[in-house]
Amino acid sequence: MKFPLLRELATKDVITVDFSDTLDTALTLMHRNNQRNVIVENDNNYYILTSASLLYLKLNKHDFSKKIDTIILEKIPTINKNENILDTLDLLESDLEYICVTNDNNSLYGIITHTDIISHIDPETLMENYRIGDLINMNKYIQKSDFNTSTSEVLKYMLDGHYDCMVITKNDEPIGIITTKDIITIMNSSLDITAPIKTYMSSPIKTVNEKASIKEVIAFIKEKHFKRVIITNNDGKLIGLILQKELISLSYSKWAILMKEYSSELSQLNDMLEKKTKKFEEKASIDHLTKLYNRYKFTELFISEYNTMLQRDNNMSLMMLDIDKFKFVNDTYGHNVGDKVLVNLSKSLAKHLRNVDIIARWGGEEFVVLLPTADVKTTEMLANRIREELETINMGDDLYITSSFGVTGVKAGDKLEDTIKRADDALYKAKDSGRNCVIVNI
């Protein structure tokens, strides 16, 4: 079994525009071809214009008759068509969907996506014993909205959170979905965005049960050509959503182990495979923006530290923090500045922590820190020191922020969700108390 070359996998039918085209032209092409994004070419450099970017410009009343070169675009990495599928793993950052595949002269050959990669994972040899419900922890907070919510409110929420979809529910049961493709249709057709979201949602939707194996889910998305899977429990209630990229993270780690068994065929690839597997496992554990642990890795480390706490009869505490009025930062200064704030805050936090402390980006502008051997009083004092310092740091563009903290202790018999709930309740009490303070919830 050989690793396929990118020239065998790449999609060659690509919608492209160049910098001299107008935004109206790009929007029309995306709508006509039912695409969420379009590739922008400029002197063998390639950029992506997304439906989310167009929505942001539309809401800010940008003139769509202007040329594309008047806006800032994200550059897409490139890779030669003669490389194999393993060589893409270093380029697949968590929020990156496309890689441009080029000819030897750097002209565009095609694109490769998460869909192309996951379509070449063999479901017959992978993940027979793993259930999709095992991954729900990393998707605790699902992007969902009630079916009667106004379309404008849903679109704004998607834009603010950088979400590419929203599950639409009725009594907690998923009945539809809004994706960035739907946004393009709404914008291109000048539809009434004050109408309830049920007017424009895609419905009905396909779901999988939490007991389905990952093998079955991979086969499901290959058959349906889905980019995400909506997960329900036995009562039909929404409990999670898994993206292709999360399945790729797990599947390639498993695939790497299986492929090493074909030693005669893979002897020359073993060293490269081990290195790439390690890198990809790290990607699955790290938040791409802040380089902190993500929620999934934090959950794993919490269990280990909790067992150590019980064995040694130690103290342990946890604090959560949230940037005050972060939505105002994004709305006023733009998402690039918002991202810079998150990165600078992460660095400031790390300076105050010990090597044994575990810090993760919990989601959005919310962070969580686990402090082994530290009691609640010590953690409260630390939180106040961090809070006071954050007020003094120039986050860029003469922007200063404040933050709110919730602190709690970890108790024998706690599950992670118990500890998180106490800290989260304290955090929101801090918000209700005027922000920029620390609240303890024992």
Q: What is the pLDDT of residues 312-366, one digit of tens each?
A: 999 999 999 999 999 999 888 888 889 999 999 999 999 999 999 999 999 889 9
Q: With a cut of 50, say whether residue 263 has pLDDT above it.
A: no
* Residues contacting residue 401 through CB under 8 Å, at least 6 positions apart: 323, 324, 326, 329, 341, 345, 390, 391, 393, 395
Long-range contacts of 243-249 (CB under 8 A, 24+ apart): 243/114, 244/114, 244/115, 244/118, 245/92, 245/94, 245/114, 246/135, 246/138, 246/284, 247/118, 247/214, 247/217, 247/218, 247/221, 248/92, 248/114, 248/117, 248/118, 248/121, 249/280, 249/281, 249/283, 249/284
Residues tagged active-site:
365
Containing H/E element for 28? Answer: helix 23-32
How far apart, in whole angstroms, are the C-alpha atoms of residue 422 and residue 294?
20
Q: Which of 299-308, 393-402, 422-431 has the lowest mean pLDDT?
A: 393-402
Which has the higher per-residue pLDDT, 15 or 270?
15
Q: How many CB atoms lie within 10 A of CB 423?
A: 27
Listed by start position, the domains of the chain span: 6-117, 132-248, 295-440
Long-range contacts of 378-384 (CB under 8 A, 24+ apart): 378/317, 379/317, 379/318, 379/319, 379/407, 380/407, 380/438, 380/440, 382/319, 382/352, 383/319, 383/321, 383/407, 383/438, 384/438
How far apart, in whole angstroms, are the C-alpha atoms of residue 50 and residue 74?
9
Identify the DSSP state of 35: -
- Whether 142 and 167 have beta carbons less than 8 Å apart is answered as yes
In this structure, whether the domain defined by 295-440 belongs to CATH 1.10.10.60 is answered with no
How far apart, in whole angstroms, are the C-alpha atoms of residue 194 and residue 196?
7
Three-point CA angle 336, 15, 20, nearest 5°: 65
Residues 232-260, mean pLDDT to the nearest whole number: 74
Q: With a cut of 80, say whether residue 135 has pLDDT above it.
A: no
Given the candidates 3.10.20.520, 3.40.50.620, 3.10.580.10, 3.40.1210.10, the CATH classification of the domain at 132-248 is: 3.10.580.10
Query: Of the segments 24-38, 272-286, 301-315, which one has the largest average pLDDT value?
Result: 301-315
Domains 132-248 and 295-440 share a fold: no
Containing H/E element for 94? Answer: none
Handedness of CA 302, 308, 309, 314 (dihedral sign): negative
> CB-side exposure of 303: number of CA atoms within 13 Å?
6
- Whether 341 and 332 have beta carbons less than 8 Å apart is answered as no
* Per-residue confidence band for 398, with pLDDT thresholds at 50, 70 and 90: confident
How far apart, in whole angstroms, are the C-alpha atoms of residue 133 and residue 206?
16
| pLDDT in the model for residue 343 | 93
Which has the higher per-residue pLDDT, 391 or 264?
391
User: Residue 75 in 3-state DSSP?
Assistant: strand
Q: With a cut of 80, say whether residue 4 has pLDDT above it.
A: no
Taking Cα atoms as reference points, which of 143, 164, 155 lies closest to residue 56? 155
Taking Cα atoms as reference points, which of 348, 375, 336 lies closest to residue 292? 348
- Whether 121 and 255 have beta carbons less than 8 Å apart is answered as yes
Taking Cα atoms as reference points, which of 389, 369, 366 lies closest to residue 379? 369
With a pLDDT cut of 90, the percent of the chain lying above it is 50
221, two tokens = 């998305």
- Whether 406 and 354 have beta carbons less than 8 Å apart is answered as no
What is the 3-class SS of 133-150, one letter each residue? Answer: HHHHHHHCCCCEEECCCE
- Whether 113 and 98 have beta carbons less than 8 Å apart is answered as yes
Instruction: Output b/e per residue, 352-366; b: 16+ Cβ within 10 A.
Output: eeeeebbbbbbbbbb
Q: With a cut of 70, say whether residue 139 has pLDDT above it.
A: no
| pLDDT in the model for residue 138 | 45
User: Residue 160 in 3-state DSSP?
Assistant: helix
**Regarding the domain delimited by 6-117, which CATH topology (the fold level of the hierarchy) does it fall under?**
CBS-domain (3.10.580)
Residues 297-319, mean pLDDT to the nearest whole number: 94
| pLDDT in the model for residue 161 | 75
How far apart, in whole angstroms, are the C-alpha atoms of residue 439 and residue 84?
52
How far apart, in whole angstroms, are the C-alpha atoms of residue 304 and residue 180?
39
